[in-house]
């Protein structure tokens, strides 16, 4: 259950197949040796991050029905079927962790990350894994089970990225609220990677002191964390180059991840205001089509 100052800034040590995948009859990706394998220079990337690119993500259709699985690498490569128009998204989650003052904990992804390095994002953003997959050698079961599975995955990743143990964020402290569908390439010329996700939005509120005591940043994942009030979050996102309102110049040089920026601009603040007023939020049963989603669905017969 959600519980009804000065912002904290914390730094971590800075460590800084010949055919494309095809769509099967069910819409899932068939395993195939990727044509792009030789086009990506893996020597450019951190070994630990590369190893995690072999995790098995959950493929879904545009209505979030499970249709298969594929590696984290394959579902994010810009020229693979999952990133092409009409290609299937994969399932993800985004945690928004608040303290009792309704300040939001945000993180800056480390420079070693393959996907959106050095971008600020919400508290934790990652993927539930397919049943029978492994994470750092541990078998995974149950994370494909809708909202409850994504909460299980969120507790796993909060520990691995931020040092926040599952005991500090019990299952009952999470609330699943809604889903968002978005698609975004990495910035820059001719990007090799991108995101195409159906993202489960998970809210959580825990005592500030408990989270502060638990925080132990993994430098291979997170550079910094910061607590933001709602007003500070508006200023931070609107002040970035990618999300500044039309006609306004950027006010800082920090990078904002596309999912966090878009969710913050389009959905977050009515929820945040309602929580501050002590209102109860219920799952809305929707998949919100955010930036890139409708374009991703262009060849899908049921696009809407």
What residues are labeled active site?
125, 197
| CA atoms of 291 and 273, how far apart (whole Å) | 23
| DSSP conformation class of 140 | -
| CA atoms of 224 and 196, how far apart (whole Å) | 25
A 10 A CB-CB count for 18 gives 10
CA count, 13 A, side-chain hemisphere, 149: 18
Characterize the bridge pairing of strands 134-135 and 138-139.
antiparallel
Q: By 3-state DSSP, what share of the chain in percent is helix, strand and coil, each rounded to 5?
A: 30, 25, 45
- Find, among 37, 60, 32, 80, the residue nearest to 128 by Cα: 60
Residue 224, classed as helix, strand or coil, is strand
Q: Quote the crossing angle between the two packed helices 230-238 and 269-276, to the nearest 10°.
A: 170
| CA atoms of 189 and 211, how far apart (whole Å) | 39
Contact yes or no for 94/201 (Cβ under 8 A): yes
């Amino acid at each position: 259950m959600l519980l009804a100052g000065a912002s904290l800034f914390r730094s971590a040590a800075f460590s800084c197949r010949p055919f494309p995948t095809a769509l099967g009859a069910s819409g899932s990706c068939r395993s195939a040796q990727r044509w792009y394998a030789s086009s990506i220079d893996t020597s450019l990337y951190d070994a630990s991050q590369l190893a995690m690119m072999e995790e098995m993500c959950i493929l879904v259709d545009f209505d979030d029905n499970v249709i298969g699985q594929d590696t984290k690498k394959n579902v994010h490569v810009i020229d693979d079927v999952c990133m092409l128009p009409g290609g299937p998204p994969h399932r993800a989650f985004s945690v928004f962790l608040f303290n009792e003052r309704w300040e939001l904990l945000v993180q800056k992804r480390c420079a070693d990350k393959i996907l959106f390095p050095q971008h600020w994002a919400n508290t934790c953003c990652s993927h539930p894994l397919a049943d029978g997959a492994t994470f750092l050698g541990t078998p995974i079961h149950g994370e494909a089970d809708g909202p409850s599975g994504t909460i299980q995955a969120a507790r796993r990743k909060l520990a691995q990225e931020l040092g926040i143990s599952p005991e500090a964020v019990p299952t009952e402290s999470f609330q699943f609220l809604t889903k968002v569908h978005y698609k975004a390439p990495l910035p820059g010329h001719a990007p090799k990677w991108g995101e195409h996700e159906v993202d489960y939005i998970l809210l959580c509120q825990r005592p500030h002191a408990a989270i502060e005591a638990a925080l132990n940043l993994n430098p291979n994942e997170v550079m910094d964390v910061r607590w933001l009030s709602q007003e500070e979050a508006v200023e931070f996102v609107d002040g970035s180059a990618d999300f500044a309102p039309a006609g306004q110049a950027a006010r800082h040089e920090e990078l904002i991840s596309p999912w966090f920026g878009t969710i913050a601009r389009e959905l977050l603040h009515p929820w945040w205001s309602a929580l501050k007023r002590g209102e109860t939020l219920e799952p809305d049963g929707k998949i919100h089509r955010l930036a890139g989603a409708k374009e991703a669905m262009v060849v899908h017969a049921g696009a809407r």
